[in-house]
Amino acid sequence: MIFQGLKLTILGMGVVFCFLVVLLFLIYLSSKLLAPFTEKEMTLAMAKKPARSGKKPSSSGDNLKLTAIISAAVAAHRARTRH
């Protein structure tokens, strides 16, 4: 009885392993076949990408203000729902 269980376990694991190997091969094959199309799409997307507006990246002061606002909102929510 135990031998049959082990045999079935090995068979099941072998089937799953073979399926994963086939899946890996198919993904690799499709990436190689579709690579020219993705390069073409990337060049088109980069050409259509609008120029960045004059906004400068947020400074650390803005991040600190945003963190303080979020912390205050969370504290207010917890205080309100605690009762």
| pLDDT for position 29 | 96
- Residues 19 and 27: their CA atoms lie apart, in Å, by 12
Sequence ranges of the domains in the chain: 1-48
Across the range 25-41, mean pLDDT stands at: 88
Confidence label for 16 from pLDDT (cuts 50, 70 and 90): very high
| pLDDT for position 81 | 84
Question: Does 76 have pLDDT greater than 80?
Answer: yes
Confidence label for 6 from pLDDT (cuts 50, 70 and 90): very high
User: Taking Cα atoms as reference points, which of 61, 41, 59 lies closest to residue 49?
Assistant: 41
Write the secondary structure of 30-83 as one string of H (helix), E (strand) and C (coil).
HHHHHHHHHHHHHHHHHHHCCCCCCCCCCCHHHHHHHHHHHHHHHHHHHHHHCC
